[in-house]
Amino acid sequence: MSPFNTRLNRREFLRQTVAFSALTAMSSGAILEAQGDAPTAPPPDPSAPHMFLVGDWGTDKYIDQQVSVANAMKQWVDVRKIHPEALFLLGDNWYGDMGIGYSSPRWQKQFEQMYPTSHFPGPAYAVLGNHDYEYKISSKVDMQLEYARHAQGTRWTMPARWYTFTYPKQNPVITFICLDSNLPGTKSDPFPWSVTMSHKHKDEQNDWFRTELAKPRTTPFVAVIAHHPLYTNGIHKDNKLLIHEWDDQIRQAKVDFWITGHDHDLQHLEFAGHPTSFVISGGGGAELVDWTIAPEKRGPYGGKVLGFTDMEFRQDGIILRHIDQNAKTLHAFRKSPGGKVDLLLPLATG
């Protein structure tokens, strides 16, 4: 195991998870089971639907790192005989300049060919990160929306800055709510290219998000997909602004997952009494970043590694696996309908 991979030792883990169980059983019905005898993760089921999630991939400096993660994604498909239904691109899709319009060759090199249709024929649902908002030559936000609308035959899917859909179309099991988390105030540096969404868009999105969460639930699972984490052990720290805006709402609506990038690592955080599992998959290619809270102190998992996340839809729930650039599973857990979380020991065979 890499020295950067951090896993709770058994005693720390038991202490934390037993506390989770007692508190969450009282407050939310979600129980994170003690993992003294944690079950081993089942091998990925080729007959089950899978979706891959990857953030912070569109680097202009570390292309070799993006290639290594893309190769691991392809390897995971080939070796495990998986047929991914979709990709989720978790923002910071494009670092640096992309020219005018959407004619940059980077679209072909770093998206269309990097994640080829041979392995990923489904839609690639994208959300916007802070680097997507950088205004240098032109608006990379407008460019990405345009590319989704007009690029011939592309899988790039971004119908708006925020959007929702259920999956699968027949008898859906999950509602995805894709947000633009670049709220005004999330960027405080003085550079002229550091822009965020407007206050008008923020208000529109908040009205929309509130309405979506208030609708009667039609699927066993609800996942929010965005770029910025509310909680992270990484360099960006817990985001007070986003916690203030959204945490109460997702608690009340019992949102199952808040899945993001932004910190360039892989994380999974659970909090006593909180119904939401916080997942960070920001290891798509950009430079790795340091911890501000040691993952041993707040977990259950943090890995300072490049990699991606496999979301598998099974009869008994959803299994998420954090997978590194060598296509090795570092961390896995299952979330059952009703909110129960079971940590799973990664397969020794990867």
> Footprint of Fe ion on this chain (CB under 5 A)?
92, 129-130, 262
Distances (CA, A) of 45 to 84, 142, 245, 342: 11, 38, 38, 18
Minimum Å gap between C-beta 131 and Fe ion is: 6
Distances (CA, A) of 80 to 58, 67, 77, 208, 335: 26, 20, 5, 39, 21
Closer to Fe ion by CB, 175 or 186: give it. Answer: 186
CA 138/CA 98 separation, integer angstroms: 8
Cα dihedral 226, 229, 235, 240 sign: positive
Other CB atoms within a 10 A radius of the CB of residue 157 amount to 18
Closer to Fe ion by CB, 128 or 320: give it. Answer: 128
Closer to Fe ion by CB, 8 or 259: give it. Answer: 259
Minimum Å gap between C-beta 208 and Fe ion is: 23
Instruction: Using CB positions, name the residue nearest to Fe ion.
Output: 262
Minimum Å gap between C-beta 262 and Fe ion is: 4
CA 332/CA 134 separation, integer angstroms: 34
Closer to Fe ion by CB, 92 or 310: give it. Answer: 92
Close Cβ partners of 2 (under 8 Å, ≥ 6 residues apart):
303, 305, 324
**Spatial contact of 66 and 96, defined as CB atoms under 8 Å apart:** no
Minimum Å gap between C-beta 138 and Fe ion is: 20
Close Cβ partners of 256 (under 8 Å, ≥ 6 residues apart):
221, 222, 223, 275, 276, 277, 318, 335, 339
CA 238/CA 234 separation, integer angstroms: 9
Minimum Å gap between C-beta 108 and Fe ion is: 23
Closer to Fe ion by CB, 134 or 270: give it. Answer: 134
Closer to Fe ion by CB, 117 or 135: give it. Answer: 135
**Spatial contact of 182 and 243, defined as CB atoms under 8 Å apart:** no
Closer to Fe ion by CB, 92 or 265: give it. Answer: 92
**Spatial contact of 33 and 300, defined as CB atoms under 8 Å apart:** no
First CA to last CA distance, the chain = 11
Minimum Å gap between C-beta 181 and Fe ion is: 9
Minimum Å gap between C-beta 129 and Fe ion is: 4
Alpha helix positions (H), the chain: 10-27, 63-80, 106-107, 140-150, 199-214, 240-242, 248-252
Closer to Fe ion by CB, 130 or 277: give it. Answer: 130
Minimum Å gap between C-beta 93 and Fe ion is: 10
